[in-house]
Structure 1
Amino acid sequence: MRVTQGMLANNSLRQISSSYGRMGNLQDQLSTGKKINRPSDDPVVAMKGMQYRTNLTEVEQYKRNLSEAYQWMENSEGGIEHATQVMQRARELLLQAKNGTNSAEDAKAIGVEIEQLKKDLQGVANTQVAGRYIFNGTKTDSAPVDASGTFNPAAADYKISVSKGVELEVNVNALEAFGGKIGGAGNNLFQTLQGIVDDINTNGKMTKGDQLLSNLDEHFDKLNAERAKLGARYNRLELIDDRIGQQEVTANRILSDNEDADIERVITDLKMQESVHRAALSVSSRIIQPTLMDFLR
């Protein structure tokens, strides 16, 4: 086969164009820090990257869910802590009201304060976080204690997905914390407090003090039991948070290993390619140089 000048020129231009392409790829890697900039650069890396990014997105969503769970639990803990202090004060007042030496004015003042404590506890039961009632189960858009003072909370637990296949109950069971069958009847905490007020106001000297004190202590025990359950779930939440944090680090590392370019190697390859390209240009200039005018001269 006869090799013509045109064949040499075309082949030289094709090789120079390929050299430009390789330099362009290396420059893209250097500027973006990524091995590939489009799926066609390496379909295998692109496919694995999609899987790794999906995993990382899931982990990031779980971290956002964990933040919401912390918000619910910490606000619930704060509400129970306040309710505990209120109930301790109510118990002190009840013991004081049982004292037969109280005057009518003293008994009335005790009744007024317990009434205010009851309203304060109703406010605790109606605690809202970001516009949602945290003590009303899944019915977060409605208050467990209505305007008339009726306590009717939802029994369903509010759960948040904190890990793959794991849903954690983040609310306090209001029926257990503030309600329940106490003293053989369906008296909730607010009814018990109202019963103390009524006994004081009706008799001046309490006639049901022992029973009401027993009922109040049962409510106190139930509230503490719910607080203990919440504390146990909070400890589990912290363990899950730690594990999700480790998963996030691992997912980021795997994604980086798959997609991130080795900058030192890219710089070295780019310098080598530039040297090769300059040599190719030098040689091509000599191959393409002769023209018809050169022969006519």
Structure 2
Amino acid sequence: MQIGTSLFFDRTSSQMTNLSAQTSTLNTQIATGKKLSAPSQDVVAYNRLASIKQATADQAAYAGNTSLAKSLLQQSDSTLTQVSTQLQRASELTLRANTGTLNDGDRKTIAVELKSILDDLVNLANTSDARGQPLFGAATGTKAVVQGADGRVTLGGTGELPAIPVGDGTTVAATDSAERVFGNIPTKAGGKTDVFAILSDYITALDAGGDISDASATAIDGLNASQSQVSNVQGSVGARAARLDIVSSQATDAAAARESDRTELEDTDLSAAITELQKQMTILSATQASFSKLSSLSLFTYLR
């Protein structure tokens, strides 16, 4: 079989060009640590990498939200513990005030402490969170509760704040409104009241003096219901915090899986790349040597 001189040169030149390109690519992969530098190298892998990077960016945002939600729930739990302590003390004072051995002066002294507890509860209700916003804020209103000049307290708004997104299709309510914590206490008449009204009414009765048995019974029932409600909210806070721990754990596992996929698609296997580079350079060197030797033969010189 005869091989034309030009065909020999073309084939050999093409082979050396391809080998040079391969060694250049391998050198780049080794130097950068990345297998892919352009979409044209592997369109499917590049698209997959883009999806992984987008998911990683999304998860970074969700992680920030999760951290915020955890912080808010921890602050809520701590604040609700203080609220529960104040309500317990108010209940103790109410039972004491209902003792028949006390006179009006004694009860007015108790009323003074109950006023202090009421003020403390207002301050706790208006606690600011890490963002400077009301911890027990509502969908409407800028303050959790508002205390008027007459000492009467009203809820600053109604409705719950939107839940915080912590994952694809996953949200967590990181806060509870003052209405949920302090309001909607059922009364014997079938209506609703709040812990501030319960205390304010009882303080008024104590200051007025006389028979307080009915007022004491109403206050005791209301404070017991308030304590139960706060306990329920605090239990819900704990459950949501536990859920966030699960969300965080799942996010960590997903991030590890994405990183494994990214590494396989994008990162250079240095050991394999170096071995392949040495192989390609050996072939290139041999090809160049063969080409140089063959091209110098007199037959090729003659054929040209």
DSSP-derived class of the 1:133 partner: coil
Q: Distance in 1 between matches of 2:44 and 2:218?
A: 75
Determine the structure 2 residue equivalent to 1:294.
none
Q: Which moved more, 1:202-211 or 1:113-122?
A: 202-211
Structure 1 CA distance, aligned partners of 2:290 and 2:116? 97
Instruction: Give the CA deviation at 1:282.
Output: 3.5
SS in 2 for 1:224: helix
- The alignment-based identity, stated in percent, is 22
Partners of 2:183 and 2:246 lie apart in 1 by 31
Does 2:19 correspond to 1:19?
A: yes
Q: TM-score, normalised by structure 1?
A: 0.84
Name the aligned partner's letter for residue 154 of structure 1.
T
**Residue 238 (structure 1) aligned with residue 245 (structure 2):** yes
Is 1:138–1:156's contact at 8 Å kept on the other side of the alignment?
yes
Report SS of the residue matched to 2:146: coil
Q: Cα RMSD over matched residues?
A: 3.0
CA distance in structure 1 between the aligned counterparts of 2:268 and 2:211, rounded to whole angstroms: 84
Residue pair 2:147, 2:154 contacting (<8 A) in 1 also: yes
Q: Which deviates the most, 100-109 or 204-213?
A: 100-109
Q: How many aligned residue pairs are there?
A: 290
CA distance, structure 1, for counterparts of residue 296 and residue 212 of structure 2: 118
Kindly indicate whether residue 133 of structure 2 is the aligned counterpart of residue 132 of structure 1. yes
Aligned to 1:128, what secondary structure does the other structure show? coil
Corresponding position of 1:160: 164
Shift of 1:221: 1.2
Partner Cα separation in structure 1 for residue 43 and residue 239 of structure 2: 47
Alignment gaps of 5+ in structure 2: 298-304
Query: Which residue of 2 is the match for residue 227 of structure 1?
Result: 234
Moved more, 276-285 or 35-44: 276-285
3-state SS, counterpart of residue 171 of structure 2: strand
Distance, in Å, in 2 between the alignment partners of 1:102 and 1:285 is 118
Counterpart-to-counterpart distance in 2, 1:147 and 1:287: 101
Give the Cα–Cα distance (whole angstroms) in 2 for the partners of residues 258 and 60 of structure 1: 21
Cα deviation for residue 13 of structure 1 reads 5.3
Q: In structure 2, how many angstroms separate the alpha carbons of the residues matched to 1:213 and 1:21?
A: 87
Following superposition of structure 1 onto structure 2, how do residues 1-297 of structure 1 map, counting pairs within 5 Å? 3=4, 14-102=14-102, 106-129=106-129, 130-139=131-140, 142-146=142-146, 148=148, 149-183=153-187, 184=189, 185-203=191-209, 206-207=212-213, 208-286=215-293
Change (3 A) 1:244 1:137: farther
Note if contact 1:127-1:135 (Cα within 8 Å) is conserved in structure 2: yes
Q: Is the 8 A contact 1:181 1:188 kept in 2?
A: yes
Describe the shift of the 1:30–1:187 C-alpha distance in structure 2 as closer, same or farther (beyond 3 A): same
Question: Gapped runs of 5+ residues in structure 1?
Answer: 291-297
